[in-house]
Amino acid sequence: MHIDAPFELILFGGLGDLSQRKLLPAMYMLFCDGRLPETGKIVAITRRELVREDFLQQVRQALRQHLEARYFDEGSWNQFVEYLICHTIDLGDPGTFVQLEQALNKQCQNRVFYLATGSDLYTDICAGLHGSGLIHEHAKVVLEKPIGHDFESATQINNAVAEYFAESQIYRIDHYLGKETVQNLMVLRFANSLFEHQWNHKYIDHIQITISESLGVEKRAGFYDHVGAMRDMFQNHLLQLLCITAMEPPASLESDAIRDEKVKVLRSLKAITGEAINDKVVRGQYDAGVADGKPVPRYRDEPDVAVKSQTETFVAVKVEIENWRWAGVPFYLRTGKRLAERACEIVVHFKEIPHSIFPLQHKNTMANKLVFRLQPDEGIRLMLCEKKIGPGMSVRPMNLSLNPADHKKTRVPEAYERLLFDVLVSNATLFLRDDELMEAWRWVDPILTFWNDLEQRPEPYTSGSWGPAAATLLLAKDGRLWDENS
Ligand code: BG6
C-alpha cells in the first residue's frame, strides 16, 4: 500500500530519544519501500534553535546508528532530506506556533501532530496548536504512552486534548500492537477454527506473557525513575497483549469492533486491591550483575537515579479475567529491565492430557504449548509431542514453526513503520480508544497507590537473572513454572 496525497508529519520531541531511535528511521524505511508520496513534510520540533545542516547531520547519524547498515544508502538519504524540516517552538511563546503555520501548507489535507514528549506537555502543545489555527478538521494527533501517571492525571489530559480534537482524530499509540506477531496472533485466532475452539478454560491451563529486556535504564533515568515498569510497560504494552490474547472474536476488522472487544477484557479484569496485592503482584529493582557478558551497576547507582529510589524495574502479576471464557485460567504477566535476555513471548499452556499411556516424562515437556514470539526472531511455534525414533515408545517434544521471516524472505517491518503508516492513512484499528486507556489506569491505580504508601525498596534481583525470587514463587504457589526460555 502506498500513500498518494501529500502529508505533513509534525514531530514534537523531534530530536528526542524516540524520534531518533524509532520514528525517523521508520519514516525513512517507509520512504525506501516507496510507500510515501512525492510531496510531504516531516517537521521536527525542537526546543533549541538548530541550523539546517546540524539538524540533518543529527538525523543522518540517528539513521546510521539505528538502522541496519544494509538499509542506509546515500542515494535514498539525499532524496529523504527533501522531506525534512526543523522548527523551534517555545511553548511559552505563541509566536513560535504562528511561524510553524507559515512553514506548513494550508491546503494539505493530511496533517499529523505526533506528540513524542512527556504527556505533561500535551495540553500546552494542543492549546498552542489551536491558538495558531493549526488544527483543522483533517488534522490528527498521535499521543505516546504513558498518558498521565494515574487515572486522575490521564483523565485530565484526555479531557484537555478532547477540547481540541475529536476522538476520531486522536491516535493513542502502543507500539507493541504494531509488531507483526501480534497481528499474526489475531489472524491465527480468527482465521483458523482449529485454535479458536480450544481458546477457553476447558482446554487452556494458563497463559504467560513476558516482555524481558537485557538493557538497563540507559540514558532515560530522568524519565524512568518517575515512571517505573508498571507505568512504562505493564499498564500499556502488557495489558494490550493480554487484551489481544483474551478478547472475544470481533464482528469485523473495523477499529471500533476490535476496540469494543479489548475494552470488555479490561472491564473483566479481577481487581487486585489491599492484601491481594502482596499475594498476586511482585515488584523488583535490579542490583549489580552481568548483562550481555559485561558487569553492570545496580539501578540505584545508575546516573540520574535517586540513591534511595523505590522505582520498580520489574513487575510480575497474576491476572484473572472474570468472564465465561477465562474463568479459572490465570494469566501470568511479567516485564523487567536487566533480565537474562531480551525477549517477548506469549505462551499458551494447554491442559495436560487426562491420562498418559506413555512412559513418564518431565511434566513440563509433556504439556502442549503455543508460543507467540514477538521478538527477537518473531514467529509462532506449536510445541507438541512426537515419538522418539527407535525402539520403545519414548515421547519427546517437537516444534511446528511458522516464522514469517523464514517463510517469505522479506524484511519484517518495525512496529513504528506499520503504525505511522496507519496514522497517515487514518486507520485507527491498532490504536487505543479513550475508554481502553481509562480502564487500564483504573485497574492499575490501586496497585500504584499501595506501593506508594509502602515506602519500601522493591525486592532486589541480580542483573542478568530472571527477576526476584518472589516472581518464581508467584507461580510455584500454583504449582507452575515460568517458561524462562521456551
Ligand atoms: C517502550 C518503553 O515503550 O518500550 C521502554 O518506554 C522499552 O522502556 C521499550 O525499552 C521496549 O520496546 P521494544 O519494542 O524494544 O521491545
Weakest-pLDDT range from 83-97, 350-364, 365-379: 350-364
- For residues 299 and 345, membership in a common domain is answered with yes
Exactly one of 175, 237, 362, 407 is catalytic; which is it?
237
Tell me the best of 209, 232, 374, 377 to mutate to test the pocket of ligand 1, counting ligand atoms within 8 Å of each CB and taking the most: 232
Cα angle 256-259-260, degrees, rounded to a multiple of 5: 80
- Separation of CA 285 and ligand 1 centre (Å): 17
- For residues 397 and 451, membership in a common domain is answered with yes
Place of cell 520403545: 392
389 — alpha (psi -120 to 50), left (phi > 0) or beta?
beta
pLDDT exceeds cutoff 70 at 404: no
Q: What is the mean pLDDT of residues 18-37?
A: 97
Residue 360: per-residue pLDDT: 65
- Name the domain count of the chain: 2
Q: Residue 28: CA atoms inside 13 Å, Cβ hemisphere, count?
A: 28
pLDDT exceeds cutoff 90 at 280: yes
In a domain, 159, yes or no: no
- For residues 134 and 201, membership in a common domain is answered with no
Q: What is the mean pLDDT of residues 299-323?
A: 96
Cell digits of residue 257: 469492533
Q: What is the mean pLDDT of residues 98-118?
A: 92
Residue 480: per-residue pLDDT: 94
- Separation of CA 201 and ligand 1 centre (Å): 31
In a domain, 366, yes or no: yes
- Separation of CA 142 and ligand 1 centre (Å): 17
pLDDT exceeds cutoff 80 at 366: no
**CATH number of the domain that residue 235 is part of:** 3.30.360.10
- For residues 64 and 196, membership in a common domain is answered with no
- For residues 270 and 131, membership in a common domain is answered with no
237: annotated active-site residue: yes
DSSP state of 377: S
- For residues 134 and 181, membership in a common domain is answered with no
- For residues 59 and 200, membership in a common domain is answered with no
pLDDT exceeds cutoff 70 at 107: yes
Q: Considering only CA atoms, which residue is closest to atom 5 of ligand 1?
A: 232
Report which ligand 1 atom has the smallest distance to the Cα of 236: 3
pLDDT exceeds cutoff 80 at 200: yes
Give the structural domain span for 370. 177-414+431-476
pLDDT exceeds cutoff 70 at 405: no
In a domain, 186, yes or no: yes
- Separation of CA 26 and ligand 1 centre (Å): 15
d(CA 431, CA 254): 12
pLDDT exceeds cutoff 60 at 362: no
- For residues 127 and 211, membership in a common domain is answered with no
Cell digits of residue 403: 516464522
In a domain, 253, yes or no: yes
Q: Considering only CA atoms, which residue is closest to atom 15 of ligand 1?
A: 213
Residue 396: per-residue pLDDT: 84
pLDDT exceeds cutoff 80 at 75: yes
- For residues 62 and 190, membership in a common domain is answered with no
Angle at which helix 415-424 crosses helix 24-32, to 10 degrees, equals 80
Place of cell 476520531: 168
Q: Write down which residue in 94, 124, 144 finishes a domain.
A: 144
In a domain, 388, yes or no: yes
- DSSP string computed for 461-473: EEETBSS-HHHHH
Cell digits of residue 123: 495540553
Binned at pLDDT 50, 70 and 90, residue 317 comes out as very high
Report which ligand 1 atom has the smallest distance to the Cα of 342: 16
- For residues 133 and 181, membership in a common domain is answered with no
Q: Write down which residue in 98, 124, 144 finishes a domain.
A: 144
Task: Express as a percent the part of the chain with pLDDT over 90.
Answer: 79
pLDDT tens per residue, range 163-180: 999 999 999 999 999 998
d(CA 40, CA 34): 13
Binned at pLDDT 50, 70 and 90, residue 79 comes out as very high
Q: What is the mean pLDDT of residues 328-345?
A: 97
What residues flank ligand 1, with Cβ below 6 Å?
175, 213, 232
Q: Considering only CA atoms, which residue is closest to atom 8 of ligand 1?
A: 232
- For residues 206 and 334, membership in a common domain is answered with yes
pLDDT exceeds cutoff 60 at 417: yes
Task: Express as a percent the part of the chain with pLDDT over 70.
Answer: 97
Q: Residue 336: which H helix or E strand, with range? A: strand 331-336
Q: What is the mean pLDDT of residues 122-133?
A: 95
Cell digits of residue 143: 499521543
Q: What is the mean pLDDT of residues 54-77?
A: 96
Report which ligand 1 atom has the smallest distance to the Cα of 344: 16
Most distant CA pair in the chain, distance: 83
Q: Considering only CA atoms, which residue is closest to atom 6 of ligand 1?
A: 232
Q: Residue 127: which H helix or E strand, with range? A: helix 122-131
- For residues 289 and 393, membership in a common domain is answered with yes
Q: Write down which residue in 101, 129, 144 finishes a domain.
A: 144
Binned at pLDDT 50, 70 and 90, residue 367 comes out as low
pLDDT tens per residue, range 223-255: 999 999 999 999 999 999 999 999 999 999 999
pLDDT exceeds cutoff 90 at 314: yes
In a domain, 340, yes or no: yes
pLDDT exceeds cutoff 60 at 365: no
Cell digits of residue 111: 496533517
Q: Residue 207: which H helix or E strand, with range? A: strand 204-212
In a domain, 157, yes or no: no
**CATH number of the domain that residue 95 is part of:** 3.40.50.720
- Separation of CA 179 and ligand 1 centre (Å): 12
In a domain, 25, yes or no: yes
